[in-house]
A and B are shown apart, each in its own frame.
Chain A
Amino acid sequence: MNNNRTRCLSHLVGTWLVLSWAVAGAAETPPTPKITGAGEHFTWVLLDQIRPSLERDHRLQLSLFGKDSMLGHGCNVGIKKARENRVGNETFGFICCPLAKEEVEKEGLTVHPIALEPLLIIVNKSNPLQDIPIEKVRAIFQGEIRNWKEVGGEDRPIVVVLRPHCAQRPGHWKTIVPTVEQFRKDRVEVKSEAEVVQGVSDFAEGIGNIGSTWVFEPSQKIKVVTVSGVAPTAENLNNKSYQFYQTQSIVTHGELSAPLANMIREVQSGKAFRGVAKKYELLPLTPALP
Chain B
Amino acid sequence: MIAPRTYRFRLVLYIGVLLLFLVAALVLSYHSSNKLVLKEAENNAARLAQQIEGQLLLEARDLAERAKMMRDNTGFTGYLYIAISLGTDPGAMTEIYKRQFGWLQIDRSIILSRSGKALIGAQHTGLRTALIQRGLVKSPTDQQFYHEGQRGLEMVATSPINYRSQSLGVIAITRTIDADWMKVVRQLSGGQLFLVKDGRVVLSTISDERNDRSFKPSGDRIEMNGESYLVRRVATGDDARLPQLWFALSQQELTAQLHEQRNRLLALVIAGCLGGLIIGFMMLRNFSAPLGRLVKLTEEVGAGRLPEIQRVSSHDEIGYLTNRFSEMAGSLREQKDEVKRVQTQLEHEATTDALTGFYNRRYLYNIFPKLWSEAMRNKRNQTLIIVDIDHFKKVNDRYGHQVGDKVLLHFASVLRDNCRVSDFIFRLGGEEFLVLTSGDSEGGMHIAEKIRNALEHDAYADDERTIPVTASFGVAQADTVNGVDGGLSKILQRADKALYSAKTSGRNRVVVWYPQRESA
Interface residues of A (CB under 8 A from B): 146, 156-159, 186-190, 195, 199, 201-206
Contacts and interface: CB of A to CB of B under 8 A. Distances in A.
A188 B78 CA distance: 6
Nearest to B86: A157
User: Of residues B75, B79, B87, B88, which shows the largest number of chain A Cβ atoms within 10 Å of its Cβ?
Assistant: B88
Given A186-B82, A188-B82, A203 B92 contact: yes
A186 B96 contact: no
The contact size tier of chain B is: 10 to 19
Interface centre among B82, B87, B96 (most CB of A within 10 A): B82
Contacts of A146: 86
Contacts of B79: 188, 199, 202-203
A204 B78 contact: no
A236 to B, nearest CB: 32
Nearest to A205: B88
B248 to A, nearest CB: 49
A102 to B, nearest CB: 32
28 contacts: A146-B86, A156-B88, A157-B86, A157-B87, A158-B86, A159-B82, A159-B88, A159-B92, A186-B81, A186-B85, A187-B82, A188-B78, A188-B82, A190-B75, A190-B78, A195-B75, A201-B95, A202-B79, A202-B91, A202-B92, A202-B96, A203-B79, A203-B88, A203-B92, A204-B88, A204-B92, A205-B89, A206-B92
Given A157-B86, A202-B96, A189 B91 contact: no
A78 to B, nearest CB: 26
B168 to A, nearest CB: 13
A205 B86 contact: yes
Contacts of B82: 159, 186-188, 203
Contacts of B87: 157
A148 to B, nearest CB: 11
Contact of B86 (A186, A195, A199, A202): A186
A103 to B, nearest CB: 29
B89 A204 contact: yes
A238 B89 CA distance: 39
Contacts of B91: 202-204
Nearest to B78: A188
A206 B78 CA distance: 14
Contacts of B75: 190, 195
Interface in B83-103: 85-89, 91-92, 95-96
Contacts of B86: 146, 157-159, 186, 205
A206 B82 CA distance: 11
Contacts of A205: 86, 88-89
A235 to B, nearest CB: 35
B90 to A, nearest CB: 10
A188 to B, nearest CB: 5
A159 B81 CA distance: 11
Q: Of A157, A186, A199, A202, which is in contact with the most chain B CB atoms at under 10 Å from its CB?
A: A202
Given A202-B95, A202-B96, A157 B78 contact: no
